[in-house]
Amino acid sequence: MSTETIDSPPPTTAGVTRRNVIKGLGATLGLAAYAKAIAPLTEWKESTTVDEFLQQHYKELSAVDLQIVLSRLEREAKKEYGVDVHITDIKAQPGVKFGYALNLSVCNGCRKCAEACHIENNHDRGSNNSYIRVFEMSRGSMDMEKGNANYEHPVKQPDKFYLPVQCQQCEHPPCVDVCPVEATWKEPDGIVVVDYNWCIGCRYCEAACPYHARRFNWEKPQIAAHEINPEQSYLSNRIRPQGVMEKCTFCLHRTRAGRLPACLEACPTGARVFGNLLDPKSEIRWVLENKRIFILKEDLGLKPQFFYFFDV
C-alpha cells in the first residue's frame, strides 16, 4: 500500500527509473499471463462463425435470408457431425391449434415415448436427454413429491400409475414472458418454440417453467453420425449448438406436415392422443368432451394445451 501522506512529494513518473523498468516488466508479464489465461477462447472461436454471430432473429429473416441460414446450418452439421442433413422450415398452418392428451389408465411407464423423442430430436446420447420425463406415481395420489422418475424395474407395477410430463405448450407461457431477448415465443398453432441461434443461454426460462420442460445444452451434443435423424427443422430437431435452450416442440417438423409426433407413434399402449383443437371432429376434441380431463398445476393459470385423462 502507498505510504503517501499529506507531506510526501508526488512520485516521479518521468524517465527510465528502476521503478519504471520493473513496472514495465511486470506489465509485460501480466499481459502474457492474461493471453495465456484466455487462450481457450481462441479454440472455442473455431466452433462459431461470423455469419452465425451476426445472424438475425428468426422473425426478422426474409425468406431468402432464411434459406441462406438453412444452407449454412446444413453445411455446419456436415462439418461437425459428418452427416448430410435436410433442414426445413415449415410455417404454422392457419386453422390449426395443437392439443395433446394422455391416458393415465393406459400408460405403462415403458418410456418408449422418451426414447422416441431422444432419437427423433437428435439429443445428446451421453445424458439420455429427452423432453419427456415419466414419473411412477402411487395410486390414489397426485402428489408429485411421491413420484419417481428413476425407476428401472419392470412396469407396470400393480399399485402405481405413470405420468409422463413434457412441455405443456401453455397459452400463457412464463418462459416466453421472461426471455430477455425474445428467443422463445408462442407460434400461432400453439407451439412454444426457441430460436437456437438467438438464445443467449441465460436460463431464465428454465427457472420460470413450472413443468421442468426446458433443457439446456450444457455441452455440445454428442451423437454418432449413423444415429442422427437427418430430417430436421430450424425450430425443432436440428442439432442444437452448445449453450442454448431447447424444448419439446410437439415434433413440429412432423406435425406441421400433418404427421403424428414421434412419442405418440412409439407408444405401445396407445395412451397418447394428438390433434387439432380447432377441428370439432378431431380425436383430441372428442377426448376433451367425453373424458374426465385434468391439467397439471392448473392453479398456476397458465392454460396448458396438454391434458391428462383416465378411462374410469
Subset of 58-77 contacting another protein (CB under 8 A): none
Q: Which of residues 8-47 bind another protein (CB under 8 A)?
A: 10-11, 13, 23, 26-27, 30, 33-34, 36-41, 43-44
User: Is the distance from CB of 271 to CB of 111 less than 8 angstroms?
Assistant: no
The label of the residue with cell 407408444 reads: 267
Question: How many residues are present in the chain?
Answer: 312
Residues forming a β-bridge with 148: 136
The stretch near another protein (CB under 8 A) out of 62-70, 77-85, 230-238, 286-294 is 286-294
Min separation Cβ 250 and another protein, Å: 10
User: CA–CA separation, 267 vs 158, rounded Å?
Assistant: 20
- Residue 247's H or E segment, with its range, is strand 245-247
Cell of 104: 393415465
The only residue of 122, 214, 248, 308 in contact with another protein, by rule CB under 8 A: 214
* Phi, psi (deg, nearest 5) at residue 57: -65, 150
Q: Which of residues 98-117 bind another protein (CB under 8 A)?
A: 101, 103, 106, 108-112, 114-115
Please tell me whether residue 290 binds another protein under the rule CB under 8 A. yes
User: Is the distance from CB of 131 to CB of 117 less than 8 angstroms?
Assistant: yes
Min separation Cβ 277 and another protein, Å: 11
Please tell me whether residue 57 binds another protein under the rule CB under 8 A. yes
User: Is the distance from CB of 100 to CB of 250 less than 8 angstroms?
Assistant: yes
Q: Which of residues 173-212 bind another protein (CB under 8 A)?
A: 174, 177-183, 188-189, 198-204, 206-212
User: CA–CA separation, 182 vs 166, rounded Å?
Assistant: 22
The stretch near another protein (CB under 8 A) out of 66-74, 80-88, 223-231, 280-288 is 280-288
User: CA–CA separation, 54 vs 135, rounded Å?
Assistant: 42
Cell of 196: 437456437
Min separation Cβ 226 and another protein, Å: 18
User: CA–CA separation, 177 vs 142, rounded Å?
Assistant: 28
Amino acid at 195: D
Residue 148 three-state SS: strand
> Comparing C-alpha atoms, which of 188, 195, 234 is closest to residue 92?
188
The only residue of 267, 305, 306, 307 in contact with another protein, by rule CB under 8 A: 267
Q: Which is nearer to another protein, 84 or 105 (CB)?
A: 105
Please tell me whether residue 88 binds another protein under the rule CB under 8 A. no
Please tell me whether residue 291 binds another protein under the rule CB under 8 A. yes
Please tell me whether residue 246 binds another protein under the rule CB under 8 A. no
User: Is the distance from CB of 146 to CB of 280 less than 8 angstroms?
Assistant: no
User: Is the distance from CB of 273 to CB of 100 less than 8 angstroms?
Assistant: yes
Q: Which is nearer to another protein, 87 or 101 (CB)?
A: 101
Min separation Cβ 78 and another protein, Å: 22
* Phi, psi (deg, nearest 5) at residue 217: -90, 90
Q: Which is nearer to another protein, 82 or 95 (CB)?
A: 95
Please tell me whether residue 308 binds another protein under the rule CB under 8 A. no
Please tell me whether residue 269 binds another protein under the rule CB under 8 A. yes
The only residue of 16, 63, 79, 150 in contact with another protein, by rule CB under 8 A: 150
The only residue of 69, 121, 147, 166 in contact with another protein, by rule CB under 8 A: 147
Q: Which is nearer to another protein, 64 or 258 (CB)?
A: 258
Q: Which is nearer to another protein, 53 or 79 (CB)?
A: 53
